[in-house]
Amino acid sequence: MQTTNTTEQQIIEAARKIFMQRGLSGARMQDIADAAGINKAMLHYYYRSKDKLFEIVFAEAVQALLGRVNAIFAGDMPWKEKIVAAIDNYITSISENPYLPLFVLHEINQNPDRLVSQFLHGPLFPNLRAFMAELAEEAAKGNIRKVDPLQLMISIISMCVFPFAAKPLLTGVFQMDANAFGKFIEERKKFVGSFVLNALEP
Protein backbone atom coordinates (compact mmCIF):
# COMPACT_ATOMS: atom_id res chain seq x y z
CA MET A 1 0.00 0.00 0.00
CA GLN A 2 2.42 2.72 -1.10
CA THR A 3 1.11 6.22 -0.92
CA THR A 4 3.19 8.14 -3.41
CA ASN A 5 1.38 11.09 -4.82
CA THR A 6 1.65 10.43 -8.53
CA THR A 7 -1.70 10.56 -10.29
CA GLU A 8 -1.32 6.97 -11.40
CA GLN A 9 -1.01 5.86 -7.78
CA GLN A 10 -3.88 8.02 -6.59
CA ILE A 11 -6.05 6.36 -9.20
CA ILE A 12 -5.10 2.86 -8.12
CA GLU A 13 -5.75 3.66 -4.50
CA ALA A 14 -9.14 5.12 -5.29
CA ALA A 15 -9.98 2.23 -7.58
CA ARG A 16 -9.00 -0.22 -4.88
CA LYS A 17 -11.30 1.46 -2.42
CA ILE A 18 -14.31 1.71 -4.72
CA PHE A 19 -13.98 -1.69 -6.41
CA MET A 20 -13.45 -3.48 -3.09
CA GLN A 21 -16.49 -1.85 -1.60
CA ARG A 22 -18.88 -2.09 -4.49
CA GLY A 23 -17.50 -4.73 -6.85
CA LEU A 24 -16.94 -4.43 -10.57
CA SER A 25 -20.56 -4.00 -11.57
CA GLY A 26 -21.40 -1.72 -8.66
CA ALA A 27 -18.43 0.61 -9.07
CA ARG A 28 -18.79 3.84 -11.07
CA MET A 29 -15.88 5.39 -12.91
CA GLN A 30 -17.06 8.80 -11.73
CA ASP A 31 -16.91 7.65 -8.12
CA ILE A 32 -13.36 6.43 -8.56
CA ALA A 33 -12.41 9.76 -10.11
CA ASP A 34 -14.06 11.62 -7.24
CA ALA A 35 -12.32 9.44 -4.65
CA ALA A 36 -9.01 10.22 -6.33
CA GLY A 37 -9.90 13.90 -6.61
CA ILE A 38 -9.22 14.05 -10.35
CA ASN A 39 -11.00 14.26 -13.67
CA LYS A 40 -12.68 11.14 -14.97
CA ALA A 41 -10.80 11.32 -18.25
CA MET A 42 -7.57 10.64 -16.38
CA LEU A 43 -8.75 7.15 -15.54
CA HIS A 44 -8.91 6.34 -19.23
CA TYR A 45 -5.75 8.28 -19.99
CA TYR A 46 -3.75 6.07 -17.66
CA TYR A 47 -5.66 2.79 -17.68
CA ARG A 48 -7.75 2.78 -20.87
CA SER A 49 -10.92 1.12 -19.57
CA LYS A 50 -12.86 0.15 -16.48
CA ASP A 51 -12.01 -3.48 -17.10
CA LYS A 52 -8.30 -2.85 -17.39
CA LEU A 53 -8.32 -0.87 -14.17
CA PHE A 54 -10.34 -3.54 -12.44
CA GLU A 55 -7.99 -6.24 -13.64
CA ILE A 56 -5.08 -4.54 -11.86
CA VAL A 57 -6.95 -4.14 -8.59
CA PHE A 58 -8.26 -7.69 -8.78
CA ALA A 59 -4.85 -9.24 -9.48
CA GLU A 60 -3.44 -7.37 -6.50
CA ALA A 61 -6.30 -8.61 -4.32
CA VAL A 62 -5.93 -12.24 -5.38
CA GLN A 63 -2.26 -12.01 -4.60
CA ALA A 64 -2.99 -10.53 -1.16
CA LEU A 65 -5.52 -13.25 -0.33
CA LEU A 66 -4.03 -16.35 -1.93
CA GLY A 67 -0.37 -15.51 -2.28
CA ARG A 68 -0.21 -15.04 1.45
CA VAL A 69 -1.84 -18.39 2.12
CA ASN A 70 1.13 -20.02 0.51
CA ALA A 71 3.77 -17.73 1.98
CA ILE A 72 2.43 -18.38 5.45
CA PHE A 73 3.15 -22.09 5.23
CA ALA A 74 6.78 -21.52 4.36
CA GLY A 75 9.55 -22.08 6.91
CA ASP A 76 10.66 -25.18 8.74
CA MET A 77 8.95 -24.97 12.10
CA PRO A 78 7.56 -28.16 13.61
CA TRP A 79 4.04 -28.76 12.32
CA LYS A 80 2.20 -27.78 15.49
CA GLU A 81 3.89 -24.43 15.72
CA LYS A 82 3.48 -23.94 12.02
CA ILE A 83 -0.26 -24.37 12.22
CA VAL A 84 -0.60 -21.97 15.12
CA ALA A 85 1.69 -19.41 13.50
CA ALA A 86 -0.01 -19.68 10.14
CA ILE A 87 -3.44 -19.10 11.64
CA ASP A 88 -2.33 -16.13 13.71
CA ASN A 89 -0.47 -14.73 10.76
CA TYR A 90 -3.30 -15.15 8.30
CA ILE A 91 -5.99 -13.65 10.50
CA THR A 92 -3.74 -10.69 11.22
CA SER A 93 -3.05 -10.08 7.57
CA ILE A 94 -6.72 -10.22 6.61
CA SER A 95 -7.60 -7.87 9.46
CA GLU A 96 -5.70 -5.21 7.58
CA ASN A 97 -8.18 -5.33 4.75
CA PRO A 98 -11.45 -6.92 5.80
CA TYR A 99 -13.18 -6.21 2.49
CA LEU A 100 -10.69 -8.36 0.64
CA PRO A 101 -12.07 -11.90 1.08
CA LEU A 102 -15.61 -11.18 0.02
CA PHE A 103 -14.42 -9.02 -2.84
CA VAL A 104 -12.24 -11.76 -4.27
CA LEU A 105 -14.80 -14.50 -3.68
CA HIS A 106 -17.57 -12.49 -5.29
CA GLU A 107 -15.59 -11.52 -8.35
CA ILE A 108 -14.28 -15.03 -8.89
CA ASN A 109 -17.86 -16.20 -8.77
CA GLN A 110 -18.89 -13.62 -11.33
CA ASN A 111 -16.17 -14.72 -13.70
CA PRO A 112 -14.15 -17.79 -12.73
CA ASP A 113 -11.96 -17.44 -15.81
CA ARG A 114 -10.32 -14.39 -14.33
CA LEU A 115 -8.79 -16.62 -11.67
CA VAL A 116 -7.19 -18.92 -14.20
CA SER A 117 -5.21 -16.12 -15.76
CA GLN A 118 -3.79 -15.34 -12.33
CA PHE A 119 -2.37 -18.81 -11.95
CA LEU A 120 -0.36 -18.79 -15.11
CA HIS A 121 2.09 -16.57 -13.27
CA GLY A 122 3.07 -19.09 -10.64
CA PRO A 123 2.78 -22.66 -9.42
CA LEU A 124 -0.18 -23.78 -7.37
CA PHE A 125 0.72 -23.28 -3.72
CA PRO A 126 3.83 -25.43 -3.39
CA ASN A 127 4.29 -24.70 0.32
CA LEU A 128 0.71 -25.49 1.11
CA ARG A 129 0.94 -28.74 -0.78
CA ALA A 130 4.18 -29.64 0.96
CA PHE A 131 2.56 -28.97 4.31
CA MET A 132 -0.41 -31.14 3.45
CA ALA A 133 1.98 -33.96 2.59
CA GLU A 134 3.74 -33.45 5.92
CA LEU A 135 0.41 -33.77 7.73
CA ALA A 136 -0.32 -37.01 5.89
CA GLU A 137 3.01 -38.35 7.10
CA GLU A 138 2.34 -37.39 10.70
CA ALA A 139 -1.03 -39.08 10.44
CA ALA A 140 0.66 -42.24 9.14
CA LYS A 141 3.08 -42.14 12.06
CA GLY A 142 0.12 -41.88 14.39
CA ASN A 143 1.12 -38.46 15.73
CA ILE A 144 -2.15 -36.95 14.66
CA ARG A 145 -5.60 -38.28 14.06
CA LYS A 146 -6.09 -39.57 10.56
CA VAL A 147 -7.81 -36.83 8.57
CA ASP A 148 -8.02 -35.83 4.94
CA PRO A 149 -5.44 -33.02 4.68
CA LEU A 150 -7.54 -31.20 2.09
CA GLN A 151 -10.57 -31.14 4.39
CA LEU A 152 -8.33 -29.92 7.18
CA MET A 153 -6.73 -27.16 5.11
CA ILE A 154 -10.08 -25.90 3.89
CA SER A 155 -11.40 -25.99 7.43
CA ILE A 156 -8.56 -23.84 8.65
CA ILE A 157 -8.98 -21.38 5.81
CA SER A 158 -12.73 -21.34 6.41
CA MET A 159 -12.36 -20.50 10.06
CA CYS A 160 -9.88 -17.73 9.33
CA VAL A 161 -11.58 -16.13 6.34
CA PHE A 162 -15.27 -16.57 6.89
CA PRO A 163 -15.67 -14.25 9.88
CA PHE A 164 -14.42 -11.39 7.72
CA ALA A 165 -16.61 -12.27 4.78
CA ALA A 166 -19.56 -12.38 7.13
CA LYS A 167 -18.59 -9.40 9.30
CA PRO A 168 -21.73 -7.28 8.80
CA LEU A 169 -23.86 -10.36 9.23
CA LEU A 170 -22.15 -11.43 12.45
CA THR A 171 -22.12 -7.98 13.96
CA GLY A 172 -25.80 -7.72 13.05
CA VAL A 173 -26.89 -11.11 14.32
CA PHE A 174 -24.81 -11.16 17.49
CA GLN A 175 -25.18 -7.45 18.07
CA MET A 176 -21.50 -6.54 18.24
CA ASP A 177 -20.18 -3.08 17.56
CA ALA A 178 -16.93 -2.46 15.68
CA ASN A 179 -15.01 -2.68 18.93
CA ALA A 180 -16.50 -5.98 19.99
CA PHE A 181 -15.75 -7.39 16.56
CA GLY A 182 -12.11 -6.36 16.87
CA LYS A 183 -11.92 -8.11 20.21
CA PHE A 184 -13.62 -11.16 18.75
CA ILE A 185 -10.98 -11.35 16.02
CA GLU A 186 -8.17 -10.97 18.54
CA GLU A 187 -9.64 -13.88 20.51
CA ARG A 188 -10.11 -15.83 17.34
CA LYS A 189 -6.39 -16.04 16.63
CA LYS A 190 -5.95 -18.07 19.81
CA PHE A 191 -9.19 -20.01 19.51
CA VAL A 192 -8.71 -21.39 16.01
CA GLY A 193 -5.16 -22.47 16.75
CA SER A 194 -6.01 -24.49 19.83
CA PHE A 195 -9.26 -25.71 18.29
CA VAL A 196 -7.41 -27.23 15.37
CA LEU A 197 -4.63 -28.75 17.49
CA ASN A 198 -7.21 -30.31 19.77
CA ALA A 199 -9.13 -31.72 16.86
CA LEU A 200 -5.94 -33.33 15.58
CA GLU A 201 -5.14 -35.03 18.87
CA PRO A 202 -5.12 -38.80 18.11
Chain residues that interact with its own copies, rule: CB under 8 A? 22-26, 66, 99, 102, 104-106, 108-110, 112, 115-116, 119, 124-125, 145, 147-148, 150-152, 154-155, 157-159, 161-163, 165-170, 172-175, 184, 187-188, 191-192, 195-196, 198-201
Task: Decide: 138 and 132 in contact? Cβ < 8 Å.
Answer: no
Buried b (16+ CB within 10 A) or exposed e, 41-58: ebbeebbeebeebbbebb
Binder of DNA out of 12, 20, 27, 91 (CB under 7 A): 27
Q: In the bound complex, what is the minimum distance in angstroms from residue 28's beta carbon to DNA?
A: 4
CA distance 58 to 40: 20
Asked whether position 56 contacts DNA by CB under 7 A, the answer is no
Task: Return the HEC string of 134-154.
Answer: HHHHHHHHCCCCCCCHHHHHH
Residue 58 C-beta: closest distance to DNA, Å: 15
Question: Which of 10/161 has CB closer to its own copies?
Answer: 161
Q: What angle do CA 63, 69, 75 make, to 5 degrees?
A: 120
Residue 150's binding partner among DNA, its own copies, none (Cβ under 5 to 8 angstroms by kind) is its own copies
Residue 38 or 166 with smaller CB distance to its own copies: 166
Nearer to DNA, 44 or 114 (CB): 44
Contact status: 50 vs DNA (CB under 7 A): yes
Q: How far apart are CA 37 and CA 54, in angstroms?
A: 18
Total number of residues that touch DNA (CB under 7 A) = 16
Give the integer Cα–Cα distance in Å for 83 and 88.
9
Q: Are 118 and 62 in contact (CB under 8 A)?
A: yes
200, containing H or E segment: helix 178-200
Q: Nearer to its own copies by C-beta: 76 or 201?
A: 201
Residues that bind DNA (CB under 7 A): 7, 27-30, 38-42, 44-45, 48-51
